[in-house]
Amino acid sequence: MFSEQGPNRKYVDLHIHTMYSDGISTVDEVLEEASLKHLKALSITDHDCMDAYPNVIERGLKLGIEVIPGVELSSEIEGNDIHILGYYVDPDHRIFSEKLKEMKEARFIRAQKIVENLNNQGIDLRFETVLSIAGVGAIGRPHIAAALMKEEFVYSFREAFDKYIGYGLPAYVEKLKMHPKEVFDLIKSAGGIPVLAHPGVTNVDVRIPEFIRDGLQGIEVYHTEHPKSVERYYFRIAKKNHLAFSGGSDFHNHNHNKSEIGYPNVPYEAVNSIKALRGTNHGEE
């Protein structure tokens, strides 16, 4: 699939979550593991949050790791949850940072409502427990699931989602909604490159041509849940449409989807394909 071969091949991980969203690792822990795995580049792509930046870039440099500013934003179209990765986004861009603040506040209010709904069902979960687990991060349903486990209302994340907080269940509360095109435009306004996250999981292939017309510039080819045949399929789509390709572990913790930092092997060419599009988007105030 790629030209570079042999033991000197460079690998990267462009999809990692930390404690700033719904992961459990600190930035230093992520960098340490990436260094042990001899990764040449990484991107921390927390959900609706870029609180890890810009300090992580400097800390990465000290370890010889190139850090690409990243984020993962949520969107929705006709009931389908679509995640968009943004690379080389300026976290200090005024409009972009204001939108992230709005999204973080919306997550907090949503979490409160979910806990209220659980309480109304006789599940006496304390919101303080959720806050203690989320810490500095943007609150998401995984934090609520962890709180349900901590207070022994469920035995697993899966049970929490299946019984209480999954889509369509009584405790569920919808997220702040944005159309994918809004997300593409927002990322590009801050100088970033919008990339469709794990398409093999979200099953939105039929919409990829529409997304490209609306401003999508890349596809996540490599992902923990993409087998080799799926990688080849999306790489062909990316190449045919002159899109960047990316990939990563989607690491949250060592028990999440069996993901581990540095797996699958994502070649450094992915970074080059994204860099090739830099300068095509111009941030605006």
Confidence of residue 78 (pLDDT cuts 50, 70, 90): confident
Q: In Å, what is the CA distance from 279 to each residue of 3, 53, 282?
A: 25, 21, 7
Q: Which residues pair with 223 in a beta bridge?
A: 248
Tracing tokens 């109304």 back to the chain, one arrives at 120
Write the pLDDT tens digit of every residue in 99-135: 999 998 999 999 999 999 999 999 999 999 999 988 8
Strands (DSSP E) found in the chain: 11-16, 41-44, 66-67, 70-77, 80-87, 193-196, 218-223, 244-248, 266-267
Q: Which is nearest to 39 in space by CA: 10, 70, 17, 16?
A: 10
Q: For position 254, what pLDDT does the model report?
A: 61
Length of the chain: 285
CATH topology of domain 10-285: TIM Barrel (3.20.20)
pLDDT digit string, tens, across residues 20-65: 988 888 999 999 999 999 999 999 999 999 999 988 999 999 999 9
* Backbone torsions φ then ψ of 236, nearest 5 degrees: -65, -40
pLDDT of residue 257: 57
Could you give the strand order of the β-sheet that contains 244-248, starting from the edge strand earlier in sequence?
70-77, 80-87, 193-196, 218-223, 244-248
Q: Name the pLDDT band for 256 (thresholds 50, 70, 90).
A: low
Q: What is the pLDDT of residues 134-191, one digit of tens each?
A: 887 788 888 999 999 999 999 998 899 999 999 889 999 988 889 999 999 999 999 9
Among residues 117, 73, 26, which one has the least CA distance to residue 130?
A: 117
Give the pLDDT score at 209.
97
